[in-house]
Amino acid sequence: MSRLPVADRGTVRRALRDMISRHRRAVGVVLALHSAAAVAGLAPPWLLGTIVDRVTAGAGVATVDRLALAIAGCVLVSALLSRYAQYAGHRFGERAVAELREEFVSRTLGLPVSVVERAGSGDLATRSSVDVSTVGTTVRDVVPTIVIAGVQLTLLFGAVFLLHPLLGLAALAGLPSIVAVTRWYLRRASSAYLTEGAAAAELTETLTTTAEGARTVEALRLADDRIRHGTTRVTAVWRARRATLALRTVFFSVVEASYPLPVAMVLLVGGYLLSRDMVSLGAVVAAALYLQQAIDPLDRLLQWTEQAQRGFASYARLLGVGMVPPEAPGTTASSRGERLVVSGARFSYSDGPDVLHGIDLEVQPGERLAVVGPSGAGKSTLARLLAGIDAPRHGVVSIGGCPVTDLDPAERRRRIALVTQEHHVFIGSVRDNLSFAAPDASDEQMRAALLTVGADWFAELPDDLDTQLGDGARQLGAAEAQQVALARLVLADPHTLILDEATAALDPSTARRTERALAAVLVGRTVIAIAHRLNTAHDADRVAVLADGRITEIGSHDELVAAGGAYAALWRSWHTRVDER
């Protein structure tokens, strides 16, 4: 398995810079508004300091009234400004996240299938779910929090500097220990929290699957086994939580013990400066209050850095998908004719041994060819070569004289369709599940296609073609899903169809009926059916027997039965009656 790439730090930084420069104005407005709001937020402690000074100087009630009113005013102005700042930031975040996820999905859709399969679809699935939402939360919630906290801190410390540079220097007292412990924490936190999350998810999964498989638990008397299994999961969660708790213990004790240091230093330095009359008492009080006020944004900043770091890592994984070269556009737009020719095709998965050892096969337009053979003989691999998903390591697969892998992918899919036993039903309506195969199909055509493939259940759907399928809505069974896949095929109406065990999930009699109905609709099309049921072979024009990556027998059903080879033996065992005559 070769994993999908992950972008390096430089690439991620560049991508971030690009994003910011694309939204230059929005970012500028957000920062300006937040700064203004933070400045207004700084006023109350300063005003309190002024009150202290004035009252010490013996000012009257009127001065106090005026200053108190000013505090209230500042609170209101600050709230108003921060509202608009937040809103602008929120809009920017939404826009950026939308851009990001749309680009990710369109990149994903452009990935060559072979790359996805080699990497395992699990990797891509994690990126599309966990990473997209992690980046989403980071941009929407974490970045604004960090920006606000950052702006507030800068201004608070800046204000202390303005009161007196020496006070400002004193205010930095707690910083070294906080920076050191934060670096220590960040190096360990992400992986520890990911482990914790994974352990918790596994425990939930154990509970869920135990419930889902309750009948099996009872039948096979697995109760003790499940309990033992679950207990180890509980222990794993406990251990993972202890590990993160240990990290937090160190981190938060150091950080919180550092918080009073700036206040203490400012008071000491302030006392010294005061004794030399270099600052007023009010200034020292204001500085102490500013620093007390700085604890809150500092706390938020530190709490969210770990999240931000995780967002950064997720973003790197999303960008990684864009680094895979997309499917080649193909060198030929079209080819003449529909004759499918395989000559001397050999194939191996990555560096493994050959799965196909020199296949020669010619399929005439309109012919129905069945491919049979034991599992592991290379039937599905042959189907993938025919559909152009993989290119042979050696030899050629061509349609109308043009190698299938040279065709433009969209054109190729229009002409050669591959339906496997993997039957995925997309979230959405029945219509959504059919229309992508043939965007111009009318509702009538869709209903007819469903009827053709024997999807009788369709008549009972509450909302006809608009019935929602998939997660949280109506779940289709394996057989129903397969019929949907076949209906797509009827609608797409390609010249060449490759059916890889496409009716395996249907019960035998329905499968038989469906295959016959399909055959009637698809008359004149080239059909290559990989089958595990012999009656499919019986109905085909020709049968190819594949064993160990080679075609060992090929001919019509009757010819093969007459030849008395492996196929004939199998056919006889299928029909004991023939044996006894």
Of residues 49 through 88, those in contact with other proteins by CB under 8 A are 51-52, 55-56, 59-61, 64-65, 67-69, 71-72, 75-76, 78-80, 82-84, 86-87
Contact flag: residue 540 with other proteins (CB under 8 A): no
25 interacts with other proteins by CB under 8 A = no
Our finding on whether 154 is near other proteins (CB under 8 A) is no
**Given the rule CB under 8 A, which of 43-51, 151-159, 337-345, 521-529 is the region that contacts other proteins?**
43-51
One of 237, 294, 441, 450 touching other proteins (CB under 8 A): 237
Is 102 a binder of other proteins (CB under 8 A)?
A: yes
Q: Closer CB to other proteins, residue 18 or residue 212?
A: 212
Report angle CA 123, 126, 131 to the nearest 5 degrees.
Answer: 125
Q: Give the separation between CA 161 and CA 170, rounded to whole angstroms.
A: 9
Q: How far is the CB of 76 from other proteins (least distance, A)?
A: 6
- Nearest to other proteins of 98, 459 (CB atom): 98
Residue 419, interface with other proteins (CB under 8 A)?
yes
Of the candidates 12, 111, 199, 361, which one interacts with other proteins according to CB under 8 A?
111
421 is a site residue for other proteins (CB under 8 A): yes
CB of 183 to other proteins, least distance (A): 19
Residue partners of 328: CB distance under 8 A and separation at least 6: 112, 405, 409
DSSP for 50-101, please give it.
HHHHHHHTT--HHHHHHHHHHHHHHHHHHHHHHHHHHHHHHHHHHHHHHHHH
C-alpha to C-alpha distance for 153 and 149, rounded to whole angstroms: 6
Q: Which is nearer to other proteins, 75 or 313 (CB)?
A: 75
> Residue 203, CB half-sphere, CA atoms under 13 Å: how many?
15
- Cα–Cα distance for residue pair 26/143, rounded to 1 Å: 14
Q: Which of 271, 337, 344, 564 binds other proteins (CB under 8 A)?
A: 271
Q: Which of 113, 166, 396, 461 contacts other proteins by CB under 8 A?
A: 113
Give me the DSSP letters along 431-453.
HHHHHTT-TT--HHHHHHHHHHT
| Contact status: 546 vs other proteins (CB under 8 A) | no
DSSP one-letter code for 384: H
- DSSP per-residue codes, 341-367: EEEEEEEESTTS-EEEEEEEEEE-TT-
Site size for other proteins, by CB under 8 A?
166
Q: Can residue 6 be called a binding residue for other proteins (CB under 8 A)?
A: no
Binders of other proteins in range 425-444 (CB under 8 A)? 426-428, 432, 435-437, 439
Piece of 7-15, 242-250, 355-363, 454-462 that binds other proteins (CB under 8 A): 242-250
Q: Is 526 in the site for other proteins (CB under 8 A)?
A: no
CA 496 – CA 492 distance, rounded (Å): 11
Q: Tokens at residue 278, please?
A: 């270099």
CB-wise, 2 or 275, nearer to other proteins?
275
Q: 9 or 581: whose CB is closer to other proteins?
A: 581
Taking the C-alpha atoms of residue 480 and residue 414, their distance in angstroms, rounded to an integer, is: 24
CA nearest to 343, candidates 261, 430, 403: 403
Joined tokens for residue 45: 């402690």
Among positions 377-396, residues that touch other proteins (CB under 8 A) are: 387, 389
Report if residue 193 touches other proteins, rule: CB under 8 A: no
**Phi, psi dihedrals of residue 237, rounded to the nearest 5°:** -60, -45
* Contact string 274-303 vs other proteins (x = CB under 8 A): xx-----x--xx--xx--x-----------
Residue 518 within binding range of other proteins, rule CB under 8 A: no
Q: Does 27 sit near other proteins (CB under 8 A)?
A: no
Q: Is residue 475 within the footprint of other proteins (CB under 8 A)?
A: no
C-beta separation of 320 from 104 below 8 A: no
Phi, psi of 550 (to 5 degrees): -130, 150
> 342 to 371, contacts with other proteins by CB under 8 A?
none
Q: Where are the alpha helices (H) located in 164-213, listed in sequence order?
A: 165-171, 175-212
Q: Is there binding between residue 323 and other proteins (CB under 8 A)? A: no
Cα–Cα distance measured from residue 260 to residue 51, given in angstroms and rounded to the nearest whole number:
24
One residue of 203, 316, 356, 551 binding other proteins per CB under 8 A: 203
Among 8, 18, 225, 463, binds other proteins (CB under 8 A): 225
Pick from 135, 178, 189, 261: which binds other proteins (CB under 8 A)?
261
**Helix (DSSP H) and strand (DSSP E) numbers for the chain:** 23, 12
The C-alpha atoms of residue 208 and residue 196 are separated, in whole angstroms, by 18
The only residue of 35, 108, 177, 195 in contact with other proteins, by rule CB under 8 A: 108
From 8, 18, 205, 548, residue interacting with other proteins (rule: CB under 8 A): 205
Taking the CA atoms of residue 298, residue 301, residue 302 and residue 304 in that order, the dihedral angle to the nearest 10 degrees is: 160
In the DSSP assignment, the letter for residue 467 is -
Which is nearer to other proteins, 316 or 530 (by Cβ)? Answer: 530
Q: Which residue shows structure tokens 């080699």?
A: 118
Per DSSP, the three-state class of 530 is strand
The tally of CA atoms less than 13 A away on the side-chain side of residue 295 is 15
Does the protein bind other proteins through residue 10 (CB under 8 A)? no
Q: How far is the CB of 9 from other proteins (least distance, A)?
A: 25
Single residue of 4, 119, 492, 560 touching other proteins by CB under 8 A:
492
264 binds other proteins (CB under 8 A): yes
**259 belongs to the binding site for other proteins (CB under 8 A):** yes
Q: Figure out which of the listed residues 28, 165, 176, 374 binds other proteins, where binding follows CB under 8 A.
A: 374
